[in-house]
């Protein structure tokens, strides 16, 4: 008793939704990662005011649901007359916050950046002492050491944990549909309300997410083989005759 029409009628909408989901996921992951690297260095730089400020930021974004953050930014900010006045002026910087796309992208970026900062900061703290001593012995300055030794090593060790974050982020973008964006989940909700057939509408959405997750896992496996091979279990070198 599967109504295929639910899926076939809405195929173009699902396709457009897939494109939007991919955009939101990859743009927020890229922006989040780029911001997270300097923040992680500051976060793990020892007890200081800056480190505590970064901690407060990651604590807020990891301690509240992403849905609440999105509703705060989308509906919450629009409530203030000061913001509405900026929108009326047509200031492009503030108009980003008027568009659901901009609100979703900012929320997702801030959220994934908070998690990624903690992941990389954790990896930075586990840098082997020997590497740091060697860098100091070579006469590297602090900045050179961060650039050449600390960050590359930490990024490698953070890869497995970061692959989970990327998958969580993909699934997290589903809440974009609560602020009128038609991503994969939004397309499913539209199909569902037109045909009153939740199973077909959502199982198809689920299958699309499953495929993207599969591709993501594959990409991260390739990345780990490339950059993390020195930590993989070693293959037997001698073959038995």
Q: Which residue has the tokens 């910087």?
A: 93
CB contact set of 162 (below 8 Å; sequence gap of 6+): 33, 116, 119, 120, 220
CB contact set of 42 (below 8 Å; sequence gap of 6+): 50, 51, 54
Q: Is residue 180 close enough to count as binding other proteins by CB under 8 A?
A: yes
Q: Is residue 67 close enough to count as binding other proteins by CB under 8 A?
A: no
Tokens found for residue 9: 């009628």
What is the x/- site pattern for other proteins, positions 151-170, by CB under 8 A? Answer: --------------------
Q: Which region, judged by CB under 8 A, interacts with other proteins, from 51-59, 150-158, 187-195, 211-219? A: 187-195
Q: Is residue 13 close enough to count as binding other proteins by CB under 8 A?
A: no
Which residue of 65, 78, 152, 218 would you call a contact of other proteins, by CB under 8 A? 78
Q: Is residue 196 close enough to count as binding other proteins by CB under 8 A?
A: yes
CB atoms within 10 A of CB 57: 16
Min dist CB 92 to other proteins, Å, is: 15
Q: Is residue 194 close enough to count as binding other proteins by CB under 8 A?
A: yes
Tokens found for residue 118: 């903690």
Which CB atom, from 50 or from 72, has the smaller least distance to other proteins?
72
Alpha carbon of residue 46 to chain centroid: 26
Integer angstrom CA distances of residue 21 from 26, 27, 46, 173, 177: 9, 10, 38, 7, 10
Min dist CB 206 to other proteins, Å, is: 16
d(CA 105, CA 192): 25
Which residue of 23, 163, 178, 213 would you call a contact of other proteins, by CB under 8 A? 178
Q: Is residue 189 close enough to count as binding other proteins by CB under 8 A?
A: yes
Total residues at the site for other proteins (CB under 8 A)?
21
d(CA 147, CA 165): 24
Binders of other proteins among 87-146, rule CB under 8 A?
A: 87-88, 98-100
d(CA 91, CA 108): 23
**Rule CB under 8 A: which residues touch other proteins?**
75, 78-79, 84, 87-88, 98-100, 178, 180, 182, 186, 189-190, 192-194, 196-198
């Amino acid at each position: 008793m599967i109504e295929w029409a639910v899926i076939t009628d809405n195929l173009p909408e699902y396709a457009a939704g897939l494109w939007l989901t991919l955009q939101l996921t990859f743009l927020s992951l890229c922006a989040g990662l780029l911001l997270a690297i300097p923040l992680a260095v500051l976060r793990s730089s020892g007890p200081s005011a800056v480190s505590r400020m970064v901690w407060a930021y990651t604590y807020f974004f990891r301690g509240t649901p992403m849905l609440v953050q999105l509703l705060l930014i989308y509906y919450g900010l629009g409530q203030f007359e000061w913001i509405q006045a900026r929108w009326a002026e047509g200031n492009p910087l503030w108009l980003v916050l008027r568009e659901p796309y901009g609100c979703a992208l900012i929320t997702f970026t801030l959220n994934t950046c908070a998690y990624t900062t903690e992941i990389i900061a954790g990896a930075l703290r586990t840098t082997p002492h020997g590497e740091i001593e060697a860098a100091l012995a070579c006469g590297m300055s602090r900045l050179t050491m961060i650039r050449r030794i600390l960050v590359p090593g930490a990024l490698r060790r953070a890869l497995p944990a970061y692959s989970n974050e990327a998958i969580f982020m993909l699934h997290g973008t589903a809440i974009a549909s609560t602020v009128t964006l038609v991503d994969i989940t939004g397309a499913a909700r539209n199909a569902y309300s037109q045909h009153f057939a939740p199973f077909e509408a959502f199982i198809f959405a689920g299958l699309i997410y499953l495929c993207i997750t599969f591709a993501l896992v594959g990409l991260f496996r390739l990345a780990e083989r490339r950059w993390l091979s020195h930590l993989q279990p070693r293959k037997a070198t001698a073959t038995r005759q």
